[in-house]
Structure 1
Amino acid sequence: MSDFSDELTRPETEDDQVEPSVPSGTGMHFPWLQKHIETVATGGKKEKDFAQTTGACLSFIQEALLKHQWQQAAEYMYSYFQTLEDSDSCKRQAAPEMLEFYGDQDGAREVLTNYAYDERFPSNPNAHVYLYSFLKRQKAPRAKLLSVLKVGLLQGHPQCLDYGPPFQPPLHLEFCSDYESFGCCDQHKDERIAARYWDIMDYFDLKGHELCGGYIKDILCQECSPYAAHLYDAENPQTPLRNLPGLCSDYCYAFHSNCHSAISLLTNDRGLQESQGKDGSRFCHLLNLPDKDYCFPNVLRNDHLNRNLGVVAEDHQGCLQLCLTEVANGLRNPVSMVHAGDGTHRFFVAEQLGVVWVYLPDGSRLEQPFLDLKSIVLTTPWIGDERGFLGLAFHPKFRHNRKFYIYYSCLGKKKVEKIRISEMKVSRADPNKADPKSERVILEIEEPASNHNGGQLLFGLDGYLYIFTGDGGQGGDPFGKFGNAQNKSSLLGKVLRIDVNGAGSDGKRYRVPPDNPFVFEPGAHPMIYAYGIRNMWRCAVDRGDPTTHQGRGRIFCGDVGQNRFEEVDLIVKGGNYGWRAKEGFECYDKKLCHNASLDDVLPIFAYGHAVGKSVTGGYVYRGCESPNLNGLYIFGDFMSGRLMALQEDRRTKKWKKQDICLGNTASCAFPGLISTHSKFIISFAEDEAGELYFLATSYPSAYAPHGSIYKFVDPSRRAPPGKCKYKPVPVKTRSKRIRFRPLAKTVLDLLKEQAEKAAGKLLNVTSASSPDRALSRKGPSRKPASPTGSRKTVRGPGSKKKARVQPPATQGKRKSLKPHHGGMRQPAQWQRASRSLPDLLLKVAKQEM
């Protein structure tokens, strides 16, 4: 290297002046430097080899550092950066050679990790890929490899250490009070953390209390942070849990400087304990997080992360971000799911072809069906056939009388198509089997066509059975002068209400409630409760607000439209819902419409066929697990597969519609959650606890086993632990239990696959431009000197009250705490691409989808 010392002092020649110069940090120019490096590396050949050039440059840098020739080392280092900047993107990916050159495995890993994660080091757009490549050569565990790339595919999101969403504590938190409005601790956990804190503080004198008490409390209370899972690297149950939360660099160095003796009291992790007596670099490196917005205390101060924390997430178009869990699959057009209300928390799923299955609270299904009416139910394999087993409802006093009611299509005498409503009982010998001999036909109605068969059965709060029939089929309700729906002497296109608790006159197996609205109207059928209905598909009774009971007893229905509109209705006694005069808010039969009464009941919401062409009525959410959803009427569209929600403005009595969006990776990245569903939404359901589900299929044929059941989950907030627990009444089972096996891939599974594919593609690009090199090389094996510079003074946690997790109006924006890097600026391309890896990974992953 002595020739380089001579070169530094030689006068500039004319040849030098025509070469592009390399500026130095001192303002001097060495136009010969890069040319000399290339000559040494390539033996004077005109075409340079990128790997040889950079390798030679690194050799010069190392030798200059070893000889304390700081001026030369600086110039060589700048030339190295210039070589990287002048090369194309593929060649720049050979940069890990700088780190692998030294032959020290631990040192190489540490420096690679620093460049990938530590904000005090210059950003490298490919650092995560280099680290992934290095760890793969070292045969690192698969979970570790995936965690390196996780930052590129998944941003942190509110999640607790039990892998569930955060919650609002029901009681005041005395110790970790920063998180008493929203977080991951209830009072019991808060007390446990406080007890641990005082156990640790027993080892400190008064000065130690003053110096370290705030730090130790901060660290312990991160279990209560709404971002606890991200701080502890616990978004996925397969990922090893951190012993201590991720700390921001400046805060971490300040803690280590003042309270490093507390490390062994906070954790039993050997690696962390061994670092307590050192300078803090290794300790803070081990507690580093890939994304600096999520480390503590930045995560507490970040306005973006804490804005609207705990409310249902919405995208920029106002679409509600919800998630799903798959609870059943392999069903043949599941048309109904109901519970018996008997405390067993079973649910009963009816398939269109006439089979009803029992599902138990543990998610298993009984091998033998509850009911099998395939031999008498009328349906076909044709796509879109509306006939079949259509409705099921259990008597409010089922626990005592064992009665339930069914609605299905069948053939009568001379092959006349009918709808039949029957009463049946559960077997005395087996509570999970219907008694096949117990059927008592309550009502039969002839169907003039094969479509618009209605199908809903439900019991109101008044104890009466409500039956929802279609208008008889074909198109435009062409039957009679005004159509069936407007004809009060016809039972088609109606809501019927009957009393099944006693026999009526003329041998009928029901009675007509005396307050039915048309009991005394001549020519009107006394069973009619409401009319003017086209084909209501799925109705539900609102349980009411759990606290105020507001809305209790309301009946919501989705009424399928003709050519233009779908509508959602609230059923009222004696109401005329307008069909066929009206469709939605508009006239359908203009002559009837203009002559119609002004008392027609208008929908609470209607939408055009650009949104969907066949509404599926839903439920008002009144469950416990997702408190943010309380009061939302959630429904969908069979044809378009869209999920929607209506929210009532109590002041104006108007309903506002919002779409429900699934598929947001960040929102649904919880264990067991999925973000896709089968397109054709057949029905909605609620279980005995009030949680909400929907039933869908990918192929709408009564004989195709492609139906699934999905449960709604709000990933932004859950109920406090223990609030929603219930103890099902035990039920004896004689049939074998079939364990549920999900078919849908969870969001975490998809992210894992995307990470693997993205890593494979990126590594192929890297290996194509820079073949693997052995780590062991000639020359001394030493680690490079760590970049040094001034660190900003960080105020201790006890010296100023921190912001609480609360609405963003009271939150301060995070200040940037970036240390100075000794005057050596990083290449422009590294600066511009400092955050490009996540974008690149996502781009590759999307190409694979």
Structure 2
Amino acid sequence: MAVSHGHKGINFAQTTSICLNFIQEALLKHQWQRASEFLQHYFQALEDFNSQKRQVALQNIWKLGSAILYHHPKSNVETFNAFADRMKNIGVQNYLKISLQHALYLLHKGMVEEAYRNLNQAESWRYGEMSASQEKIIKLIQAYRGLLDYYTWSKKRTELSKFDMDGFATSAATQDMHSYFRQASVNLHEIIKIPGVWDPFVKSYVEMLEFYGDQDGARQVLTDYAYDNNFPSNPNAHIYLYKFLKKEKAPEDKLISVLKILHQIVPSHKIMLEFHMLLRKSKKEEHQKLGLEVLFAVLDFSGCTENITAWKYLAKYLKQIMMEKHLNWVQEGWSSRKDWWPTFHFSYYLAKKNWKENKILALEKAFTSGILLGKGCKYFMYVSKQGHKVQKKSIKTMKKFVMKHNILDSEEL
């Protein structure tokens, strides 16, 4: 073997280890041809006397080989299929896992029917006693088959919506479409009972339930997915439930309860601006107070620093809160941010940059900085000195309000 030259006395394990390192190095450098040549030599690792090491080698060959074939310029579907079939037959313990990954590769290539056949074959495959891990993979295979049944159902639904025909043809087509719903719903219903993150499966199942008018069923699926403590924390589960309830015109308190959890998981999510508006409209003081914290939390994140809507909402809400004498709300939210927000949001450099790029953003931020830091804030001072004609009135109004109201001038801070 080429890698053994100059390495006298290198044993079998060392040789395969060196070969594996060469493959990984070639992959990192996108040297697909070189990696494929070394992989051919690495196949000898399957001759190891240790069954555990053979199993590891088999997994390595599949992962590395599929990555090489995915990227190799001369690779094609036929080559990948041949490699996958060979790997399935080498290690029966990996048959199901490789079959599933093979099907996903075919889906990526747009070969839906071939992927479906692959999943069908895998589902009917049996070898000896089924282990617990293999049973889980079988359920996953069934779930993906259900997802492909949903895909076919969706296509047929679209086709039917384009035609307004009466009689046998329409009835037969509708029945055909419904059969795919039945097939899909069985498998999708089963997988989403298992704790996990099943976003595409849940969305597909809910869409079908809604189409057939089962709103209660759809709502229950989304509620279980969001609130079952056995499931991992998943922001999307709460987003799906919120959007469903919003579409149903659910009471605002119900929408708020869903978004409260999302706020705890992803406080910077774009839906948080909708959440702020819901809280702001609420008659409950605790909701109105939370509405301020939601805006503060959104602007804590670097990806939101130039979100003009968030700054507009904050400037407007601060003004409202100050006028309503809820200074303690502002102080409470500001106390944990006063040490880092001035540099993060209100530096002299950012004042110049924001004024140059987006004067509306600069004005909203200046107003906010004036309330939070007082008229001596560098950001506020820079923007308030700009005599731009269009913003002249806005600057005058901003200065007047800040002179009268700001937290920095209060005794508490």
TM-score (norm 2): 0.29
Larger Rg computed on CA atoms: 1
If each structure's helix is expressed as a fraction of its own residues, which one has the higher value? 2
TM-score (norm 1): 0.17
Higher relative contact order (CA 8 A, sep 6+): 1
If each structure's strand is expressed as a fraction of its own residues, which one has the higher value? 1
